[in-house]
Amino acid sequence: MATPTTQETVTVGSREVRLLLPNSFAIRHEVVGCAAHNAARAFAAALAFCWSGPGRPKAVYTRHNCNPLQYGGAVVDELRGRGVDMAEIIEAGGRAFTLIADSLITASEVDTVEGFTEGQVGPLTS
């Protein structure tokens, strides 16, 4: 597995946005963990966390109880208020989400998992 890309460019509204991987492992882990509950909000949170440069959503993570789903909802509301289509938020957010998700597992961890095969347990008694 190649090292995950740490930056990418997406279009949000009429703006080109550079996505940079957030430094916080905890935030990256929280965003990925909440996607099963509400993917659209998780993608929006990922987009805001990765957004580098002008136009970044003004929503503040700590004002939303450090809850990625609440934060993602605030980001969706703000971007929709700017006239950004929901499909565009999800597309750009999905790319940010992938950037984050790919960063959570290292190549050596993948090799360890790929090398594991079930049924290689030794005797249970001596």
Using the predicted structure, report yes or no on whether residue 111 has a pLDDT greater than 80: no
Q: Provide the pLDDT confidence category of residue 7 given band limits of 50, 70 and 90.
A: confident
Q: pTM for this structure?
A: 0.80
Q: Is residue 1 part of a domain?
A: no
Mean pLDDT of 31-56: 96
Give whole-number Cα distances, 107 to 3, 43, 57, 73, 114, in Å: 7, 24, 32, 33, 10
Q: Tell me, yes or no, whether 93 lies in a domain.
A: yes
Residue 11 covered by a domain? yes
In a domain, 120, yes or no: no
8 A C-beta contact, residue 24 and residue 61: no
Q: What angle do CA 66, 10, 14 make, to 5 degrees?
A: 100
Domain ranges, residue 100 = 7-105
- Residue 22 in any domain: the answer is yes
User: Of the candidates 113, 82, 115, 96, which has an alpha carbon nearest to the alpha carbon of residue 31?
Assistant: 96
Could you tell me if residue 72 is inside a domain?
yes
125 in a domain, yes or no?
no
> What was the pLDDT predicted at 3?
40
Can you say whether the dihedral through the CA atoms of 83, 85, 86, 91 is positive or negative? negative
Fill in the DSSP letter of residue 14. Answer: T
How are the residues of the chain apportioned to helix, strand and coil, as percentages rounded to the nearest 5?
50, 10, 35
* Residue with more model confidence, 83 or 2: 83
- Give a yes or no: residue 94 inside a domain: yes
Model confidence at 29: pLDDT above 90: yes
Count of domains for the chain: 1
